[in-house]
Amino acid sequence: MQPKPEQERAPVAEAAVDASLLPRGYPKKVWTQDGGAVVVATGQEGGCSKVHAELAEQTADHVKVVLVEETPEPPGVCTMDLRYPPVAVQLDAPLDARKVVLEQRDVKVPR
């Protein structure tokens, strides 16, 4: 799911984001759209890789968003740049006071 650029963003407070499962230096910016029903996070990708978000869990007290970076295997010739695109997930109900737990996962995909 792609975030809607024309929609108003509601930042999620830093205290409401658990980024302890992210690698050091990974972006931790999170916001909501669509009245809190869409959670958007800043992903990280580079060279040949692409990032997308997956909704791993929704409970009464938190939602878990996995930022999946897919890299082709074998990688081939890739640039050394980093990009930070917004990636989004649709919730069953607005985020409200729930915490956002972020996790990052690397996946190799065949060319």
Read off the pLDDT of residues 72-103 as tens digits, 9 standing for 90 and up. 988 788 888 999 999 999 999 999 999 999 99
pTM over 0.85: yes
**Residue 12, CB half-sphere, CA atoms under 13 Å: how many?**
30
Looking at residue 111, its pLDDT comes to 81
The C-alpha atoms of residue 1 and residue 54 are separated, in whole angstroms, by 9
Looking at residue 24, its pLDDT comes to 95
Q: How confident is the model at residue 28 (pLDDT cuts 50, 70, 90)?
A: very high
The C-alpha atoms of residue 49 and residue 57 are separated, in whole angstroms, by 24
Looking at residue 5, its pLDDT comes to 77
Is 57 buried (19+), middle (13-18) or exposed (0-12) by CB count in 10 A? exposed
Query: How many other C-beta atoms are found inside a 10 Å radius of the C-beta of residue 69?
Result: 16
Cα 58 to Cα 67, 69, 83, 89, distances in angstroms: 15, 21, 28, 11
The C-alpha atoms of residue 90 and residue 102 are separated, in whole angstroms, by 15
